[in-house]
Chains A and B, each alone.
Chain A
Amino acid sequence: MEILTEYGDQLITAFIRTIQLAGLSAVGALVLGTILAAMRVSPVWALRTVATGYVNIVRNTPLTLVVLFASFGLAQQLGVTLVDPNSPTSITDSSFRLAVLAFSTYTATFVCEALRAGVNTVPIGQSEAARSLGLGFTQGLRYIVLPQAFRAVVAPLGSIMIALIKNTTIASVIGVAEASLLMKEVIENTSALIVVGLIFALGFMCLTIPTGAVFGFLSKKLAVRT
Protein backbone atom coordinates (compact mmCIF):
# COMPACT_ATOMS: atom_id res chain seq x y z
CA MET A 1 0.00 0.00 0.00
CA GLU A 2 2.89 2.37 0.69
CA ILE A 3 3.79 1.94 -2.93
CA LEU A 4 0.45 3.37 -3.98
CA THR A 5 0.72 6.35 -1.65
CA GLU A 6 4.32 7.00 -2.57
CA TYR A 7 4.08 6.51 -6.32
CA GLY A 8 0.35 7.04 -6.91
CA ASP A 9 0.71 10.39 -8.69
CA GLN A 10 3.63 9.21 -10.76
CA LEU A 11 1.70 6.07 -11.73
CA ILE A 12 -1.18 8.11 -13.05
CA THR A 13 1.10 10.50 -14.97
CA ALA A 14 3.02 7.55 -16.43
CA PHE A 15 -0.09 5.73 -17.59
CA ILE A 16 -1.51 8.95 -19.05
CA ARG A 17 1.72 9.26 -21.04
CA THR A 18 1.23 5.66 -22.22
CA ILE A 19 -2.33 6.43 -23.29
CA GLN A 20 -1.20 9.59 -25.10
CA LEU A 21 1.53 7.67 -26.91
CA ALA A 22 -0.85 4.90 -27.93
CA GLY A 23 -3.67 7.24 -28.97
CA LEU A 24 -1.56 9.57 -31.11
CA SER A 25 0.36 6.69 -32.66
CA ALA A 26 -2.90 4.89 -33.44
CA VAL A 27 -4.16 7.91 -35.38
CA GLY A 28 -0.85 8.26 -37.21
CA ALA A 29 -0.69 4.54 -37.99
CA LEU A 30 -4.25 4.44 -39.31
CA VAL A 31 -3.70 7.43 -41.60
CA LEU A 32 -0.33 6.26 -42.90
CA GLY A 33 -1.49 2.65 -43.14
CA THR A 34 -4.52 3.62 -45.22
CA ILE A 35 -2.33 5.64 -47.57
CA LEU A 36 0.09 2.71 -47.88
CA ALA A 37 -2.73 0.25 -48.56
CA ALA A 38 -4.14 2.55 -51.24
CA MET A 39 -0.67 2.76 -52.79
CA ARG A 40 -0.28 -1.01 -52.73
CA VAL A 41 -3.51 -1.65 -54.64
CA SER A 42 -3.08 1.29 -57.02
CA PRO A 43 -2.57 0.90 -60.77
CA VAL A 44 0.67 2.90 -60.68
CA TRP A 45 3.74 0.67 -60.65
CA ALA A 46 6.03 3.04 -58.76
CA LEU A 47 3.57 3.63 -55.91
CA ARG A 48 3.06 -0.12 -55.50
CA THR A 49 6.79 -0.81 -55.42
CA VAL A 50 7.58 1.97 -52.98
CA ALA A 51 4.79 0.92 -50.61
CA THR A 52 5.73 -2.77 -50.83
CA GLY A 53 9.37 -2.00 -50.14
CA TYR A 54 8.47 0.24 -47.21
CA VAL A 55 6.20 -2.39 -45.65
CA ASN A 56 8.69 -5.23 -46.06
CA ILE A 57 11.57 -3.24 -44.65
CA VAL A 58 9.88 -1.61 -41.69
CA ARG A 59 7.80 -4.64 -40.72
CA ASN A 60 10.90 -6.79 -40.39
CA THR A 61 12.85 -4.28 -38.30
CA PRO A 62 12.70 -4.65 -34.52
CA LEU A 63 10.69 -1.77 -33.05
CA THR A 64 13.51 -0.97 -30.64
CA LEU A 65 15.69 -0.32 -33.66
CA VAL A 66 13.05 1.89 -35.29
CA VAL A 67 12.82 3.96 -32.12
CA LEU A 68 16.61 4.18 -31.86
CA PHE A 69 16.80 5.31 -35.50
CA ALA A 70 14.28 8.05 -34.74
CA SER A 71 16.41 9.23 -31.84
CA PHE A 72 19.98 8.73 -33.10
CA GLY A 73 19.29 9.19 -36.79
CA LEU A 74 16.53 11.75 -37.12
CA ALA A 75 17.10 13.86 -34.04
CA GLN A 76 20.85 13.74 -33.51
CA GLN A 77 22.15 13.43 -37.04
CA LEU A 78 19.52 15.02 -39.25
CA GLY A 79 18.40 17.59 -36.72
CA VAL A 80 14.70 16.68 -37.02
CA THR A 81 13.67 17.10 -33.39
CA LEU A 82 10.04 18.05 -34.12
CA VAL A 83 10.09 20.75 -31.44
CA ASP A 84 10.91 24.38 -31.01
CA PRO A 85 14.44 24.25 -29.54
CA ASN A 86 13.74 27.25 -27.32
CA SER A 87 10.80 25.80 -25.49
CA PRO A 88 11.62 24.80 -21.88
CA THR A 89 10.38 21.22 -22.29
CA SER A 90 12.01 20.65 -25.65
CA ILE A 91 13.95 17.50 -24.67
CA THR A 92 11.02 15.53 -23.26
CA ASP A 93 8.69 16.79 -25.97
CA SER A 94 11.15 15.81 -28.63
CA SER A 95 11.58 12.23 -27.42
CA PHE A 96 7.80 11.87 -27.01
CA ARG A 97 7.09 13.08 -30.54
CA LEU A 98 9.87 10.99 -32.02
CA ALA A 99 8.44 7.94 -30.25
CA VAL A 100 4.99 8.68 -31.68
CA LEU A 101 6.55 9.01 -35.12
CA ALA A 102 8.40 5.71 -34.74
CA PHE A 103 5.32 3.84 -33.50
CA SER A 104 3.22 5.29 -36.30
CA THR A 105 5.66 4.30 -39.04
CA TYR A 106 6.01 0.79 -37.58
CA THR A 107 2.35 0.10 -36.86
CA ALA A 108 1.27 1.55 -40.21
CA THR A 109 2.81 -1.44 -41.99
CA PHE A 110 0.53 -3.82 -40.07
CA VAL A 111 -2.50 -1.60 -40.67
CA CYS A 112 -1.60 -1.63 -44.38
CA GLU A 113 -1.39 -5.42 -44.50
CA ALA A 114 -4.68 -5.82 -42.65
CA LEU A 115 -6.42 -3.36 -44.96
CA ARG A 116 -5.04 -5.06 -48.04
CA ALA A 117 -6.51 -8.33 -46.78
CA GLY A 118 -9.76 -6.40 -46.26
CA VAL A 119 -9.71 -5.10 -49.84
CA ASN A 120 -9.45 -8.72 -50.98
CA THR A 121 -12.67 -9.59 -49.16
CA VAL A 122 -14.70 -6.95 -51.03
CA PRO A 123 -16.50 -8.71 -53.89
CA ILE A 124 -15.20 -7.84 -57.36
CA GLY A 125 -18.72 -6.79 -58.38
CA GLN A 126 -18.47 -3.82 -56.04
CA SER A 127 -15.59 -2.15 -57.81
CA GLU A 128 -16.95 -3.18 -61.22
CA ALA A 129 -20.24 -1.51 -60.32
CA ALA A 130 -18.34 1.55 -59.13
CA ARG A 131 -16.51 1.78 -62.46
CA SER A 132 -19.68 1.30 -64.46
CA LEU A 133 -21.12 4.28 -62.59
CA GLY A 134 -18.19 6.27 -63.90
CA LEU A 135 -16.14 6.47 -60.70
CA GLY A 136 -12.39 6.58 -61.19
CA PHE A 137 -9.89 4.46 -59.24
CA THR A 138 -9.46 6.88 -56.33
CA GLN A 139 -13.20 7.58 -56.13
CA GLY A 140 -14.04 3.87 -56.23
CA LEU A 141 -11.48 3.15 -53.56
CA ARG A 142 -12.64 6.03 -51.38
CA TYR A 143 -16.39 5.65 -51.58
CA ILE A 144 -16.92 1.96 -52.37
CA VAL A 145 -14.00 -0.36 -51.63
CA LEU A 146 -12.16 1.05 -48.59
CA PRO A 147 -15.27 1.63 -46.44
CA GLN A 148 -16.21 -2.03 -46.88
CA ALA A 149 -12.61 -3.16 -46.42
CA PHE A 150 -12.40 -1.27 -43.12
CA ARG A 151 -15.56 -2.92 -41.86
CA ALA A 152 -14.14 -6.35 -42.70
CA VAL A 153 -10.91 -5.85 -40.76
CA VAL A 154 -12.12 -4.23 -37.54
CA ALA A 155 -11.13 -7.31 -35.51
CA PRO A 156 -7.53 -7.54 -36.84
CA LEU A 157 -7.22 -3.75 -36.41
CA GLY A 158 -8.21 -4.29 -32.77
CA SER A 159 -5.37 -6.79 -32.32
CA ILE A 160 -3.00 -4.29 -33.93
CA MET A 161 -4.14 -1.54 -31.57
CA ILE A 162 -3.67 -3.82 -28.54
CA ALA A 163 -0.18 -4.68 -29.77
CA LEU A 164 0.46 -0.94 -30.19
CA ILE A 165 -0.56 -0.25 -26.58
CA LYS A 166 1.84 -2.96 -25.42
CA ASN A 167 4.57 -1.71 -27.74
CA THR A 168 4.47 1.83 -26.30
CA THR A 169 6.58 0.46 -23.44
CA ILE A 170 9.50 0.48 -25.88
CA ALA A 171 9.48 4.29 -25.79
CA SER A 172 11.39 4.03 -22.51
CA VAL A 173 14.47 3.21 -24.59
CA ILE A 174 14.73 6.89 -25.55
CA GLY A 175 13.62 8.08 -22.14
CA VAL A 176 9.92 8.82 -22.59
CA ALA A 177 8.49 8.81 -19.07
CA GLU A 178 5.80 6.18 -19.60
CA ALA A 179 4.75 3.17 -17.55
CA SER A 180 7.68 0.81 -18.11
CA LEU A 181 10.28 3.48 -17.32
CA LEU A 182 8.51 4.16 -14.05
CA MET A 183 8.31 0.43 -13.37
CA LYS A 184 12.07 0.11 -13.76
CA GLU A 185 12.56 2.90 -11.26
CA VAL A 186 10.00 1.63 -8.74
CA ILE A 187 11.19 -1.96 -8.93
CA GLU A 188 14.70 -0.95 -7.96
CA ASN A 189 13.58 1.09 -4.97
CA THR A 190 11.16 -1.31 -3.35
CA SER A 191 11.33 -4.88 -2.16
CA ALA A 192 7.68 -5.68 -2.89
CA LEU A 193 8.45 -7.00 -6.36
CA ILE A 194 5.28 -9.02 -6.84
CA VAL A 195 3.04 -6.12 -5.81
CA VAL A 196 4.76 -3.74 -8.20
CA GLY A 197 4.48 -6.29 -10.99
CA LEU A 198 0.79 -6.78 -10.32
CA ILE A 199 0.08 -3.04 -10.22
CA PHE A 200 1.64 -2.53 -13.65
CA ALA A 201 0.03 -5.69 -15.02
CA LEU A 202 -3.32 -4.44 -13.82
CA GLY A 203 -2.67 -1.03 -15.36
CA PHE A 204 -2.01 -2.50 -18.76
CA MET A 205 -4.92 -4.90 -18.53
CA CYS A 206 -7.17 -1.90 -17.83
CA LEU A 207 -5.99 -0.52 -21.18
CA THR A 208 -5.85 -3.61 -23.39
CA ILE A 209 -8.93 -5.55 -22.30
CA PRO A 210 -11.44 -2.70 -22.88
CA THR A 211 -9.75 -1.97 -26.23
CA GLY A 212 -10.24 -5.60 -27.23
CA ALA A 213 -13.84 -5.52 -26.04
CA VAL A 214 -14.63 -2.32 -27.98
CA PHE A 215 -13.11 -3.64 -31.20
CA GLY A 216 -14.85 -7.01 -30.73
CA PHE A 217 -18.18 -5.21 -30.33
CA LEU A 218 -17.49 -2.95 -33.33
CA SER A 219 -16.46 -5.86 -35.54
CA LYS A 220 -19.79 -7.57 -34.88
CA LYS A 221 -21.75 -4.36 -35.26
CA LEU A 222 -20.02 -3.24 -38.47
CA ALA A 223 -19.57 -6.61 -40.21
CA VAL A 224 -20.72 -6.48 -43.83
CA ARG A 225 -23.62 -8.91 -44.13
CA THR A 226 -24.06 -10.49 -47.50
Chain B
Amino acid sequence: MSNQPALKTLYDAPGPRGKTLNIIISALCLAGLVGGMFWVISALNAKGQLAPEKWQPFLTADMWRTYLLPGIAGTLQAAGLAVVLATALGIVLGVGRMSQIKILRYGCGAVVEFFRAMPLLILMIFCFQLFANYNLFPSTQMAMAAVVTGLTLCNGAVIAEIVRAGVHSLPRGQSEASMALGLGSGQMMRMILLPQAITAMLPPIVSQLVVALKDTALGYQITYVEAVRQGVQAGSAYSNYIPALLVVAAVMIAINFALSQLAVTAENRLRKGRKAVVKPEEVAIPQI
Protein backbone atom coordinates (compact mmCIF):
# COMPACT_ATOMS: atom_id res chain seq x y z
CA MET B 1 0.00 0.00 0.00
CA SER B 2 2.71 2.45 0.95
CA ASN B 3 4.65 4.28 -1.64
CA GLN B 4 7.96 3.34 -0.07
CA PRO B 5 10.19 0.83 -1.85
CA ALA B 6 9.71 -2.69 -0.58
CA LEU B 7 13.33 -3.07 0.41
CA LYS B 8 15.20 0.10 1.09
CA THR B 9 18.58 -1.45 0.54
CA LEU B 10 17.97 -2.59 -3.03
CA TYR B 11 19.95 0.49 -4.03
CA ASP B 12 22.31 3.03 -2.48
CA ALA B 13 21.43 6.67 -2.01
CA PRO B 14 21.89 8.12 -5.50
CA GLY B 15 24.92 10.30 -6.23
CA PRO B 16 24.82 13.43 -8.41
CA ARG B 17 24.67 11.42 -11.65
CA GLY B 18 22.10 9.06 -10.22
CA LYS B 19 19.94 11.96 -9.11
CA THR B 20 19.97 13.48 -12.58
CA LEU B 21 19.16 10.10 -14.09
CA ASN B 22 16.28 9.61 -11.68
CA ILE B 23 14.87 13.00 -12.55
CA ILE B 24 15.18 12.25 -16.27
CA ILE B 25 13.42 8.88 -15.90
CA SER B 26 10.72 10.45 -13.71
CA ALA B 27 10.17 13.16 -16.30
CA LEU B 28 9.94 10.61 -19.14
CA CYS B 29 7.52 8.49 -17.14
CA LEU B 30 5.30 11.42 -16.27
CA ALA B 31 5.45 12.66 -19.86
CA GLY B 32 4.33 9.23 -21.06
CA LEU B 33 1.51 9.21 -18.55
CA VAL B 34 0.33 12.69 -19.47
CA GLY B 35 0.62 11.85 -23.17
CA GLY B 36 -1.46 8.70 -22.72
CA MET B 37 -4.11 10.53 -20.75
CA PHE B 38 -4.16 13.31 -23.31
CA TRP B 39 -4.71 10.77 -26.08
CA VAL B 40 -7.54 9.04 -24.20
CA ILE B 41 -9.22 12.31 -23.25
CA SER B 42 -8.95 13.81 -26.71
CA ALA B 43 -10.26 10.58 -28.29
CA LEU B 44 -13.18 10.48 -25.86
CA ASN B 45 -13.77 14.15 -26.45
CA ALA B 46 -13.83 13.61 -30.20
CA LYS B 47 -16.52 10.99 -29.61
CA GLY B 48 -18.41 13.47 -27.49
CA GLN B 49 -18.23 11.33 -24.37
CA LEU B 50 -16.93 14.20 -22.28
CA ALA B 51 -19.61 16.65 -23.34
CA PRO B 52 -21.36 18.25 -20.37
CA GLU B 53 -24.74 16.80 -21.26
CA LYS B 54 -23.33 13.28 -20.86
CA TRP B 55 -22.33 14.12 -17.29
CA GLN B 56 -25.38 16.20 -16.43
CA PRO B 57 -27.55 13.18 -15.48
CA PHE B 58 -25.25 12.41 -12.54
CA LEU B 59 -26.41 15.60 -10.90
CA THR B 60 -30.06 14.58 -11.06
CA ALA B 61 -31.77 12.67 -8.29
CA ASP B 62 -33.44 10.45 -10.86
CA MET B 63 -30.16 8.97 -12.05
CA TRP B 64 -29.14 7.99 -8.55
CA ARG B 65 -32.57 6.90 -7.35
CA THR B 66 -33.45 4.75 -10.35
CA TYR B 67 -30.07 3.38 -11.31
CA LEU B 68 -27.00 3.81 -9.19
CA LEU B 69 -28.23 3.60 -5.60
CA PRO B 70 -30.26 0.40 -6.07
CA GLY B 71 -27.25 -1.11 -7.80
CA ILE B 72 -24.83 -0.18 -5.04
CA ALA B 73 -27.32 -1.36 -2.42
CA GLY B 74 -27.70 -4.67 -4.26
CA THR B 75 -23.94 -5.13 -4.39
CA LEU B 76 -23.49 -4.36 -0.69
CA GLN B 77 -26.42 -6.55 0.34
CA ALA B 78 -25.29 -9.58 -1.62
CA ALA B 79 -21.67 -9.23 -0.53
CA GLY B 80 -22.52 -8.63 3.14
CA LEU B 81 -24.95 -11.51 3.33
CA ALA B 82 -22.57 -13.80 1.46
CA VAL B 83 -19.62 -13.03 3.71
CA VAL B 84 -21.61 -13.68 6.90
CA LEU B 85 -22.91 -16.99 5.53
CA ALA B 86 -19.52 -17.87 4.09
CA THR B 87 -17.79 -17.26 7.42
CA ALA B 88 -20.23 -19.62 9.13
CA LEU B 89 -19.81 -22.22 6.38
CA GLY B 90 -16.06 -21.73 6.38
CA ILE B 91 -15.74 -22.34 10.11
CA VAL B 92 -17.87 -25.49 9.84
CA LEU B 93 -15.91 -26.82 6.86
CA GLY B 94 -12.54 -25.79 8.28
CA VAL B 95 -13.19 -27.42 11.66
CA GLY B 96 -14.66 -30.45 9.90
CA ARG B 97 -11.51 -30.79 7.87
CA MET B 98 -9.46 -31.03 11.06
CA SER B 99 -11.84 -33.49 12.72
CA GLN B 100 -10.75 -36.79 14.22
CA ILE B 101 -13.44 -38.62 12.27
CA LYS B 102 -12.04 -39.80 8.98
CA ILE B 103 -15.23 -39.61 6.90
CA LEU B 104 -15.97 -36.08 8.09
CA ARG B 105 -12.40 -35.00 7.40
CA TYR B 106 -12.31 -36.37 3.86
CA GLY B 107 -15.86 -35.21 3.15
CA CYS B 108 -15.15 -31.63 4.16
CA GLY B 109 -11.84 -31.75 2.31
CA ALA B 110 -13.56 -32.87 -0.88
CA VAL B 111 -16.23 -30.15 -0.59
CA VAL B 112 -13.60 -27.46 0.00
CA GLU B 113 -11.42 -28.58 -2.91
CA PHE B 114 -14.43 -28.86 -5.23
CA PHE B 115 -15.63 -25.33 -4.60
CA ARG B 116 -12.12 -23.93 -4.77
CA ALA B 117 -11.74 -25.42 -8.23
CA MET B 118 -15.09 -24.15 -9.52
CA PRO B 119 -15.42 -20.82 -11.30
CA LEU B 120 -17.92 -18.65 -9.45
CA LEU B 121 -19.78 -17.76 -12.63
CA ILE B 122 -20.43 -21.42 -13.48
CA LEU B 123 -21.75 -21.91 -9.96
CA MET B 124 -24.01 -18.88 -10.22
CA ILE B 125 -25.46 -19.90 -13.59
CA PHE B 126 -26.06 -23.38 -12.22
CA CYS B 127 -27.76 -22.11 -9.03
CA PHE B 128 -29.88 -19.68 -11.02
CA GLN B 129 -31.16 -22.41 -13.29
CA LEU B 130 -31.64 -24.78 -10.35
CA PHE B 131 -33.72 -22.26 -8.44
CA ALA B 132 -35.71 -21.47 -11.58
CA ASN B 133 -36.46 -25.12 -12.35
CA TYR B 134 -37.64 -26.01 -8.88
CA ASN B 135 -39.16 -22.62 -7.95
CA LEU B 136 -37.14 -22.49 -4.75
CA PHE B 137 -37.34 -18.70 -4.48
CA PRO B 138 -39.85 -16.06 -5.60
CA SER B 139 -38.83 -14.88 -9.04
CA THR B 140 -37.91 -11.40 -7.81
CA GLN B 141 -35.30 -12.79 -5.46
CA MET B 142 -33.99 -15.61 -7.60
CA ALA B 143 -30.99 -13.75 -8.98
CA MET B 144 -30.06 -12.50 -5.51
CA ALA B 145 -30.37 -16.03 -4.11
CA ALA B 146 -28.17 -17.43 -6.87
CA VAL B 147 -25.53 -14.74 -6.37
CA VAL B 148 -25.49 -15.20 -2.61
CA THR B 149 -25.41 -19.01 -2.87
CA GLY B 150 -22.54 -18.95 -5.33
CA LEU B 151 -20.56 -16.43 -3.31
CA THR B 152 -21.21 -18.31 -0.06
CA LEU B 153 -19.99 -21.62 -1.44
CA CYS B 154 -16.87 -20.23 -3.11
CA ASN B 155 -15.87 -17.90 -0.30
CA GLY B 156 -16.82 -20.48 2.32
CA ALA B 157 -14.26 -22.84 0.82
CA VAL B 158 -11.61 -20.12 0.93
CA ILE B 159 -12.48 -19.16 4.52
CA ALA B 160 -12.31 -22.84 5.49
CA GLU B 161 -8.70 -22.81 4.34
CA ILE B 162 -8.08 -19.59 6.29
CA VAL B 163 -9.52 -21.22 9.43
CA ARG B 164 -7.36 -24.27 8.93
CA ALA B 165 -4.22 -22.18 8.38
CA GLY B 166 -5.06 -20.11 11.46
CA VAL B 167 -5.46 -23.13 13.72
CA HIS B 168 -2.41 -24.88 12.30
CA SER B 169 -0.22 -21.86 12.93
CA LEU B 170 -0.94 -21.94 16.68
CA PRO B 171 1.95 -23.23 18.77
CA ARG B 172 1.76 -27.00 19.44
CA GLY B 173 1.86 -26.35 23.18
CA GLN B 174 -1.70 -25.04 23.04
CA SER B 175 -3.24 -28.33 21.94
CA GLU B 176 -0.85 -30.39 24.06
CA ALA B 177 -1.75 -28.38 27.16
CA SER B 178 -5.48 -28.70 26.52
CA MET B 179 -5.10 -32.45 25.99
CA ALA B 180 -3.17 -32.63 29.28
CA LEU B 181 -6.10 -30.87 30.95
CA GLY B 182 -8.33 -33.64 29.70
CA LEU B 183 -10.33 -31.68 27.13
CA GLY B 184 -11.88 -33.61 24.27
CA SER B 185 -11.06 -32.69 20.68
CA GLY B 186 -14.32 -30.75 20.27
CA GLN B 187 -13.80 -28.83 23.49
CA MET B 188 -10.18 -28.13 22.56
CA MET B 189 -11.22 -26.68 19.21
CA ARG B 190 -14.07 -24.64 20.65
CA MET B 191 -12.48 -23.33 23.84
CA ILE B 192 -8.75 -23.18 23.12
CA LEU B 193 -7.83 -23.17 19.44
CA LEU B 194 -10.56 -21.26 17.59
CA PRO B 195 -10.69 -18.25 19.96
CA GLN B 196 -6.97 -17.74 19.56
CA ALA B 197 -6.91 -18.36 15.84
CA ILE B 198 -9.82 -16.05 15.13
CA THR B 199 -7.85 -12.84 15.74
CA ALA B 200 -5.29 -13.87 13.17
CA MET B 201 -8.04 -14.83 10.75
CA LEU B 202 -9.69 -11.44 10.85
CA PRO B 203 -7.54 -9.57 8.27
CA PRO B 204 -7.80 -12.28 5.58
CA ILE B 205 -11.55 -12.45 6.18
CA VAL B 206 -11.87 -8.68 5.68
CA SER B 207 -9.88 -9.04 2.45
CA GLN B 208 -12.27 -11.78 1.46
CA LEU B 209 -15.05 -9.23 1.81
CA VAL B 210 -13.32 -7.16 -0.88
CA VAL B 211 -13.19 -10.25 -3.10
CA ALA B 212 -16.90 -10.90 -2.48
CA LEU B 213 -17.76 -7.29 -3.29
CA LYS B 214 -15.91 -7.48 -6.58
CA ASP B 215 -17.43 -10.85 -7.40
CA THR B 216 -21.01 -9.67 -6.98
CA ALA B 217 -20.36 -8.00 -10.34
CA LEU B 218 -20.65 -11.50 -11.82
CA GLY B 219 -24.35 -11.23 -10.98
CA TYR B 220 -24.39 -8.97 -14.07
CA GLN B 221 -24.66 -12.10 -16.18
CA ILE B 222 -27.62 -13.57 -14.33
CA THR B 223 -29.60 -10.31 -14.28
CA TYR B 224 -28.94 -9.48 -10.64
CA VAL B 225 -29.48 -5.78 -9.89
CA GLU B 226 -25.95 -4.81 -8.86
CA ALA B 227 -23.72 -1.81 -9.45
CA VAL B 228 -22.15 -2.77 -12.81
CA ARG B 229 -25.46 -3.84 -14.37
CA GLN B 230 -27.13 -0.65 -13.17
CA GLY B 231 -24.22 1.33 -14.58
CA VAL B 232 -24.70 -0.26 -18.00
CA GLN B 233 -28.48 0.28 -17.78
CA ALA B 234 -27.97 3.93 -16.92
CA GLY B 235 -25.47 4.16 -19.78
CA SER B 236 -28.02 2.87 -22.25
CA ALA B 237 -30.80 5.06 -20.85
CA TYR B 238 -28.82 8.28 -21.09
CA SER B 239 -26.52 6.96 -23.88
CA ASN B 240 -23.44 7.75 -21.83
CA TYR B 241 -21.78 4.36 -21.30
CA ILE B 242 -18.32 5.65 -20.54
CA PRO B 243 -19.31 8.27 -17.94
CA ALA B 244 -21.70 5.81 -16.27
CA LEU B 245 -19.09 3.04 -16.10
CA LEU B 246 -16.49 5.51 -14.83
CA VAL B 247 -18.79 6.61 -12.01
CA VAL B 248 -19.56 3.00 -11.06
CA ALA B 249 -15.86 2.16 -11.16
CA ALA B 250 -15.04 5.12 -8.93
CA VAL B 251 -17.65 4.07 -6.36
CA MET B 252 -16.51 0.43 -6.35
CA ILE B 253 -12.83 1.37 -6.13
CA ALA B 254 -13.51 3.74 -3.22
CA ILE B 255 -15.42 1.08 -1.26
CA ASN B 256 -12.90 -1.66 -1.96
CA PHE B 257 -9.91 0.55 -1.27
CA ALA B 258 -11.37 1.57 2.10
CA LEU B 259 -11.96 -2.09 2.96
CA SER B 260 -8.43 -3.08 1.90
CA GLN B 261 -7.04 -0.34 4.11
CA LEU B 262 -9.19 -1.65 6.96
CA ALA B 263 -7.68 -5.10 6.47
CA VAL B 264 -4.16 -3.64 6.53
CA THR B 265 -4.94 -1.61 9.66
CA ALA B 266 -6.40 -4.65 11.39
CA GLU B 267 -3.32 -6.65 10.48
CA ASN B 268 -0.93 -4.00 11.76
CA ARG B 269 -2.86 -3.64 14.99
CA LEU B 270 -2.82 -7.39 15.50
CA ARG B 271 0.88 -7.54 14.82
CA LYS B 272 1.55 -4.87 17.43
CA GLY B 273 -0.84 -6.36 20.00
CA ARG B 274 1.00 -8.54 22.46
CA LYS B 275 -1.90 -10.95 22.86
CA ALA B 276 -1.78 -12.32 19.36
CA VAL B 277 -0.24 -15.77 19.42
CA VAL B 278 -0.26 -16.18 15.67
CA LYS B 279 1.34 -13.82 13.24
CA PRO B 280 -1.34 -12.73 10.75
CA GLU B 281 0.98 -13.13 7.77
CA GLU B 282 1.14 -16.87 8.46
CA VAL B 283 -2.57 -17.11 7.79
CA ALA B 284 -2.65 -14.90 4.72
CA ILE B 285 -3.84 -16.67 1.59
CA PRO B 286 -3.35 -14.77 -1.65
CA GLN B 287 -6.59 -12.98 -2.47
CA ILE B 288 -7.73 -12.53 -5.99
Q: Using Cβ atoms and an 8 Å threshold, which residues of chain A touch B29?
A: 44, 46-47, 50
- Complexed CA–CA distance, A116 and B7 (Å): 9
A180-B125 CB under 8 A given contacts A52-B3, A60-B257, A64-B228: yes
Instruction: Tell me if A99 counts as interface (CB < 8 A to partner B).
Output: no
Instruction: Tell me if B182 counts as interface (CB < 8 A to partner A).
Output: no
Q: Using Cβ atoms and an 8 Å threshold, which residues of chain B touch A122?
A: 7
Is B286 touching A169 in the complex (CB atoms < 8 A)? no
Q: Which residue of B lies closest to A43 (CB)?
A: B11
Is B126 touching A197 in the complex (CB atoms < 8 A)? yes
Please, how many residues of chain A have a CB less than 8 angstroms from a CB on the other chain?
A: 70
Q: Which of B229-266 contact A (CB under 8 A)?
A: 231-232, 235, 241-242, 245, 248-249, 252-253, 256-257, 260
Q: Using Cβ atoms and an 8 Å threshold, which residues of chain A touch B288?
A: 107, 110, 159-160, 163, 167
The residue that B25 contacts in the complex, of A44, A127, A140, A173, with Cβ under 8 A, is A44
- Complexed CA–CA distance, A121 and B221 (Å): 41
- Complexed CA–CA distance, A205 and B252 (Å): 31
The residue that A166 contacts in the complex, of B30, B49, B118, with Cβ under 8 A, is B118
The residue that A77 contacts in the complex, of B5, B6, B47, B231, with Cβ under 8 A, is B47
Question: Which residue among A41, A57, A64, A209 has the maximum number of chain B CB atoms within 10 Å of its CB?
Answer: A64
The residue that A42 contacts in the complex, of B1, B5, B126, B248, with Cβ under 8 A, is B5
Q: Which residue of B lies closest to A115 (CB)?
A: B6
Q: Using Cβ atoms and an 8 Å threshold, which residues of chain B touch A173?
A: 220-221
Give a binary string over B15-41; 1 marks a CB under 8 Å from any A CB, 0 the rest.
Answer: 000100010011101100100000010
- Complexed CA–CA distance, A76 and B49 (Å): 11
Give a binary string over A140-170; 1 marks a CB under 8 Å from any B CB, 0 the rest.
Answer: 1100010000000000100110110111111
Size class of the contact patch on chain B = 35 or more
Q: Which of A2-10, A67-75, A87-95 contacts B (4 or more CB under 8 A)?
A: A67-75
Q: Which residue of B lies closest to A125 (CB)?
A: B9
Instruction: Tell me if B210 counts as interface (CB < 8 A to partner A).
Output: yes
The residue that B6 contacts in the complex, of A40, A47, A205, with Cβ under 8 A, is A40
Q: Which residue of B lies closest to A136 (CB)?
A: B11
The residue that A193 contacts in the complex, of B22, B44, B126, with Cβ under 8 A, is B126
Instruction: Tell me if B214 counts as interface (CB < 8 A to partner A).
Output: yes
Q: Using Cβ atoms and an 8 Å threshold, which residues of chain A touch B25?
A: 44, 46-47
Q: Which of A4-49 contact B (CB under 8 A)?
A: 40-49
Q: Which residue of B lies closest to A140 (CB)?
A: B10
Instruction: Tell me if B68 counts as interface (CB < 8 A to partner A).
Output: no
The residue that B242 contacts in the complex, of A44, A61, A73, with Cβ under 8 A, is A73
- Complexed CA–CA distance, A226 and B9 (Å): 20
- Complexed CA–CA distance, A160 and B130 (Å): 30
A41-B122 CB under 8 A given contacts A77-B47, A170-B218, A172-B221: no
Q: Which residue of B lies closest to A107 (CB)?
A: B288
Q: Using Cβ atoms and an 8 Å threshold, which residues of chain A touch B106?
A: none
Is B245 touching A49 in the complex (CB atoms < 8 A)? no
The residue that A183 contacts in the complex, of B14, B122, B213, with Cβ under 8 A, is B122
Q: A64-B218, A78-B40 are in contact. List 12 more A-B contacts (CB 8 A).
A: A56-B1, A60-B253, A61-B256, A62-B217, A64-B221, A65-B231, A140-B10, A160-B288, A169-B121, A183-B125, A187-B126, A208-B116
Query: Lowest 8 CB-CB distances: which A-B pairs, in order?
Result: A62-B217, A46-B26, A60-B256, A166-B119, A163-B288, A64-B217, A169-B121, A62-B214
Interface, chain A (partner B; CB < 8 A): 40-50, 52, 56-57, 60-65, 68-69, 72-73, 76-79, 107, 110, 114, 116, 119-120, 122, 124, 127-128, 131, 137, 140-141, 145, 156, 159-160, 162-163, 165-170, 172-173, 179-180, 183-184, 187-188, 193, 197, 200-201, 204-205, 208-209
Interface, chain B (partner A; CB < 8 A): 1, 3, 5-7, 9-12, 14, 18, 22, 25-27, 29-30, 33, 40, 43-44, 47, 49, 113-114, 116-122, 125-126, 129-130, 133, 210, 213-218, 220-221, 228, 231-232, 235, 241-242, 245, 248-249, 252-253, 256-257, 260, 285-286, 288
Query: Can you list 16 residue pairs at the A/B interface with Cβ under 8 Å?
Result: A41-B6, A43-B10, A60-B253, A62-B216, A68-B232, A69-B249, A76-B241, A77-B47, A77-B49, A141-B10, A169-B121, A170-B218, A180-B125, A187-B125, A204-B117, A205-B114
